Structure formats: C-alpha cells, structure tokens
Structure 1
C-alpha cells in the first residue's frame, strides 16, 4: 500500500494504521485513507469537485479525494482500484440536532454550482428498481427449477412473490408521484449518501458513499434502519427537526413514502445469499415485515403531516 501512496505523494512515508476498517497512513500532519473504488473515474472527479466546494463553503468535516502525480483519481494496486482521501485536520465539533444537521448538509449540497452527471441518481429510482426487481425475478426462476432446495432457498421461493408485489407497488407509487406538481426548491438534487446510516454523527465524513439525488433518499434510508431497530422515538425527533429546518414539499413527502414502500433492505440482504447466515438474515427480515409495515403506516404521524388535507395517497388506497 505504501507504493500506492507514493503515486500521490512522491517519497511518501507514514505509519500504517486502520480507520473504520480501511487501510490508512498517519503522518505528523494528516491521515490518508485508502478506499476500494466502486465506480468509474468520471464519478470520482465529480465527487472531488463537490467535496472541495463543501469543504470551502461551510462543511470542513468531509475528506477530500486526492489526485495522483499523473492526474488520476483512481489507482489500481494489485488488480484492485482504489480511491485515496485526505482527512481534514482535527478541529472542535459541535453537532446540533441530527435532523437539522442533515438539512444543513442538503442545503449546502443543493447550492453547489457544479451539477454532476454520472454521480446522479435523481429521477432514476423507478428505472433502477425495475432492473433490480428483474434480477430478483431471474434468480427466483432459476431457484424454482432447482432440486433439491435448501431451507433458505425454499423460504425464498415461498416469500419472494410478496417482495415482487411490494416492489411493483413502490414503482407504481413513485411513477405517479413524479406527476406531483406541489414541489419547491428543496426538491432539487443535492448531496446524499448511497444508504444513509448517521454518517453526519461521525467526526469526519468519508466521501466515497456520496452521490447526487433527492434529499428524501437520506431520510428514507435513515428511517428504514430505525424501523428495523425499533427506534421510533428517534424518528419522532429526527423528522420534525429536519422538516423545521428544511421543509419537505408534498412531492418530497411522496418520494420519502414511496422509497420506504420499496423493500430495498430485503433486496440488499437477498443479494448476499440465501443459505447459511445470509439466508437466516433474509428470513428474519421477511418475518419482521409485518411490524415494518405497521411502522410505515405511522410515518406521516411522525412527520406531523395530515395526509387527508394534503391529499397524499397512502397504501390503503392501493391495496
């Protein structure tokens, strides 16, 4: 890994350390973190422009992707592409209410004058979900023909039709929501995370999970995790704090709700396998879905939103 770092800083020397399970190097002045790359170089160049803007305009806690001496942002080392980020210097951190912190992060990201292309998933949810569902249906068809079946595979065959139904419902809901005319400036694309898991509570933010999308994405993924952990009390504080700082439009509320209808957490687990520990985790998520949907039914109550007066469609109108 030292040879990799020397492609960014000639003659680099530093102490090898670990940071959040990533290889890293510590010098007297800075910490450098080496992260496996997940996408093409163009996306990371866009990411570097965005993180530079955010560092300079009110969010210094985000690490900055580095460029090699040859102008490359991704380096291949032992057949694996890597992104190297430079951590910001230590400074006192005073975090406010979590929801308000996320709202400020979204506000700053939306103000960035640089609009990314390859890094954006804005308006593509239905397309991405349809492709993901197709992959799941292909797997279902393959396993359906298989004999003998493991317990995990048999459970998958019995339950995946439910996942198909919820996915189709979510796709329909989001497609219809795209015709919603009650939107505001807060609905423009901004900096969000692939799957938000309270990263803003950390002292520093690693940028490799940042993309461009609707801010409802972060809200939905945080709420999804809270539903699974039975942390409804946290949601009751988190969502109103966000809404007070950066109110969601009706369009934004519908996207939030539609994303939570989509069982992405089940797809994530399913794609890790259907046997052994992975299969047991898939089965657990399926068994928890009844409780998940009960909590989802109370989403707008947590947000202190009257769906009837705002004419926001809810699941009972579709089932």
Structure 2
C-alpha cells in the first residue's frame, strides 16, 4: 500500500496504522484515511466529490476532503479493490448537541444547486422497499420447505411473517403520507447519510466523511439515528432518545410531512432486513445470529417505541396527531 500511495499521490508514507476498520497515516501533523470504495460506482463517486467540494466551500466544520491522485483521479486500485484518500480535518470534533449540528448540516446541504442522479434517494423509498421486501419474501418461501435449517434460519423463517406485516405497514404509511400531506420547503432533498447514528461523526476517526452520503429527505437521518439508539444503547435512548429530535426541530422546524416520513421509516424494519442480508453475505457469521436474537427479543419494546413516538408527537407539537397503525400495541399493554 505504501508503494501504491507513493506512485499514485507522490507521498512517502512513514507508517500505516489501523483505527478500527480504517487504515490511516500522518504526514506533517495531518491525518489521512484510506477508504475502501469498491461498492461505489464512478458516477456516484464523482457526485459525492462535487458534494464534498460544495460543503467545503460552505465551511462545514470537521469535514474530511477527497484527495485527488497525481493524475487527478478520485480513486486508485490495489489488490483488486478500489480506494480513495481522505484528508482528515485537524480540529477535534466537539458536538454540542448532535440534533442541532445535524439540522445545520442539512440546511447547508439543502441549498446544493446541481442535479444529483446516482446518489439520489428522495422519492425512491417505496420502490426500494418493495423490491427489498419481494426479494426477501422469495428467499423465505424457498427456506420454509427445507427440512434442516440452521438456528438463524429457523428464527428467520418463523419471524418473517411478522416483519412482512411491519414492512407493508411502513410502505402503506409512506404512500398515505405522500397523498395526505403537502411537502414544505424544508422537505426538499439534502445531503444525508446511509445510516446516521451517534458514531457516524465520532467513530475511530473523527470526521464527516462524504463516502457516507446520499441525497435524500432529512427524515432518513432522524429515523436511522433513533433506530440505532434504540437497538444499541437502551439506557441512553430512554434518557435522550427524543432530545435529539427536539434539538433538531428547534433549530430547523419539522413539517407534518417530515414527522410522518420519520414514522414510516421507523415502521419499515430496516434493522431486520439488514441483519438477515448481512448473515448470508458473511457466510453465516454467528454475530448476526446473536443480533437477530436480540431484535426478536425486543420486538415488543420496539412496538412500544413506535407507540411512544406517536404519543410524544401529539404532546410535543400540539399541532398534529399521527394517524394510528391499529395493531401497534398501546404503551403499558
């Protein structure tokens, strides 16, 4: 890798260190990160580079920037994989309130003036969710007739009908929202993250990485942050789960359309889908068996969370009540 970096960037790297899953090195007190990007095609990568350049011009704090090769390419190849180089900001990230910081980030991203196509996700949720659901249902139908199943597969086969129902409710809620509510200016597309959570900016390397980005409705980041908090830090979620969204709303007031999109995204069980998909992609890593067990064990609590979101909204905003999903259990049941 050192030889490749010298050839492609003309830099002599003294030592490459691992920080979590990332390779990093430091030159003249500046940190660089080598990011694998084989999953991103060239067209999308160019769009992310343009977004990165735009947010840099907007003086977005703690922003990592893409470094071009000597020949002005965005990426390079090594051992049949593609990578790019990010220059990490020198200042240490000190978030005051992540909800407020995210709202400000979205406000800047919303003013991006150029067309986005490959990294675009806004308006595509229904199509993407239905495709994902159809694929997993076909896979499930193939499994239910097998006689010998691994413990993970047995859990998946038994649990899928419940998550199929939850997914269909999420899709219907999204459709109803788009029919019932008129979007406000705040509902235009902005720079979002594939899966935003408290470690996205505060991970092993503290930075805002453009490789995490998609162009979407801001409710994506709000819903995924709350979902992650629910599943990965229950105590913190109980204390601060709604403070995050209230901080966001105070900085950039959410529309009824936004509140309902957040709920539709929380209804759609992305966590279940990703766990099953990752299990098979990893060739049966037992980590995902434990994860699925945890997801199934907390399904009642997740229903209670969906109910509490609806209750919180009617108390918090005093201006709207979410349409109910009838079978979601009331709190305390």
Q: TM-score, normalised by structure 1?
A: 0.92
The answer to whether the 8 Å contact 1:17/1:26 transfers is no
**Within-5 A mapping of 1:1-319:** 1-37=1-37, 38-88=39-89, 90-91=90-91, 93-198=93-198, 199-201=200-202, 203-228=206-231, 229-230=233-234, 231-273=237-279, 276-303=286-313, 305=315, 310=320, 312-316=322-326
The answer to whether the 8 Å contact 2:313/2:322 transfers is no
Instruction: Name the CA distance, whole Å, in 2 between partners of 1:155 and 1:92.
Output: 43
The answer to whether the 8 Å contact 1:133/1:164 transfers is yes
Return closer, same or farther for 1:129/1:272 CA change in 2, 3 Å cut-off: same
Deviates more, 1:48-57 or 1:242-251: 48-57
- 1:15 CA drift (Å): 2.3
Partner SS for 1:126 = helix
Partner SS for 1:224 = helix
Return closer, same or farther for 1:11/1:55 CA change in 2, 3 Å cut-off: closer
**Number of paired residues?**
318
In structure 1, runs of 5+ residues without a counterpart are: none
Q: Which runs of 4+ in 1 moved over 4 A?
A: 303-309
- 1:111 CA drift (Å): 1.6
Instruction: Name the CA distance, whole Å, in 2 between partners of 1:123 and 1:264.
Output: 17
Return closer, same or farther for 1:317/1:163 CA change in 2, 3 Å cut-off: closer
Partner SS for 2:9 = coil
Deviates more, 1:7-16 or 1:25-34: 7-16
Instruction: Name the CA distance, whole Å, in 2 between partners of 1:242 and 1:227.
Output: 18
Deviations 1:133-190 (A, max 9, x none): 1221122122112221223222221111111111111111112212233321111111
The answer to whether the 8 Å contact 1:19/1:33 transfers is no
The answer to whether the 8 Å contact 2:303/2:328 transfers is no
In structure 2, runs of 5+ residues without a counterpart are: none
Deviates more, 1:279-288 or 1:211-220: 279-288
CA root-mean-square deviation: 2.3
Instruction: Name the CA distance, whole Å, in 1 between partners of 2:214 and 2:175.
Output: 21
